[in-house]
Structure 1
């Protein structure tokens, strides 16, 4: 089945966090055709969207270790944004919501005690279960340093766990130019064309 096909959401492990509406916290993956094409991976944490730029996109294949570079927090309303950011603004380019859904924090400390997602991120290793339209199962974000010490030299790895939601026989990431929005079914090209028609 193609990565862009919408699949039935499985029942995963329980959660220990909650979203702004009292339900499960939300996540969104946006494809962003800016100066450099990339995926934006965003998790609702403490009232904001914690965000990472993932150049090659999240992968459902456990063999793929995806670089995830932290970016600024975004407001929760941004999880629904799909459109064209003007070229003279920061992040200028076309954006689609490739995937969206909820997640369940899974992190524990060295004694096996459940820790909050915020604490897991502070510790530098957070595991979570995604219930999305396209991404499912357990993933982990692990912090590491690249180059000289300092805040500008911190990056993370985003890796899929080898669970029954993983794929092994095909690429785990879609072609961003042909991928379709989980919200509207549109491609980047279609969103850009619609914007040109609207403003033309």
Structure 2
């Protein structure tokens, strides 16, 4: 299980949000699904632009905030700040979080797909602070590593996200060159223009 644990791994997620104001899902912890677990990366313009990197582990989305976004460039290390676990139904969340609420700003589904652990047990590797993962997304692919810096903490842990120098590596690759959503094809600006529920997304 991931670090927020206790009886309800989504407690911190729910405590931070007013669901009478935000369209974000309240969610529930889901049983493990068959097949490869999913990952999603959301481009989130809040007080500062960042990318939310989320991995399906033990029925929730273990989550990190990556200020400069993930990259396929193996020469670049990205800071990734561990944040609260999110529910699995956050996987396809796209829209506008009201200003004044936690995380207020606009969100698009920047990339999604499936992943596999390079070492076997993702929950064990997460707790140990050393995740090796193969991503199979529409933008991201190949072997990545997420490594915790320092000792485990109940506050915002700092991790490093790096891409291995494999066949999927691309030097100089910049996530900002590919801003559109893989869900809707929209940019963040276009999501704002269409409101909290972009046309055709339900």
TM-score using structure 2 length:
0.78
> Which among 75, 85, 101 is matched to residue 63 of structure 1?
75
Figure out how many residues of one structure are paired with residues of the other and give that number: 168
Counterpart of 2:33 in structure 1 is 21
Are 1:81 and 2:93 matched, yes or no?
yes
C-alpha separation in 2, matches of 1:25 and 1:196? 28
* Partners of 1:140 and 1:158 within 8 A in 2: yes
* Partners of 1:145 and 1:153 within 8 A in 2: no
C-alpha separation in 1, matches of 2:65 and 2:113? 18
Q: Displacement, 1:122?
A: 1.2
Counterpart of 2:175 in structure 1 is 174
| Moved >6 Å (runs of 4+) | none
Q: Displacement, 1:20?
A: 3.6
Q: Show the 5 A alignment for 1:1-150.
A: 20-107=32-119, 115-145=120-150, 150=153
Q: Displacement, 1:153?
A: 5.9
Match of 1:175, SS? helix
C-alpha separation in 2, matches of 1:121 and 1:150? 13
Are 1:187 and 2:199 matched, yes or no?
no
Task: Say if 1:164 and 1:52 are closer, same or farther in 2 by CA, change over 3 A.
Answer: same
Q: Displacement, 1:184?
A: 0.8
C-alpha separation in 2, matches of 1:73 and 1:141? 16
Q: Displacement, 1:60?
A: 0.3
TM-score using structure 1 length:
0.79
Task: Say if 1:24 and 1:193 are closer, same or farther in 2 by CA, change over 3 A.
Answer: same
Runs (5+) with no aligned partner, structure 1:
1-18, 108-114
Match of 1:191, SS? helix
- Superposed CA RMSD in Å reads 2.1
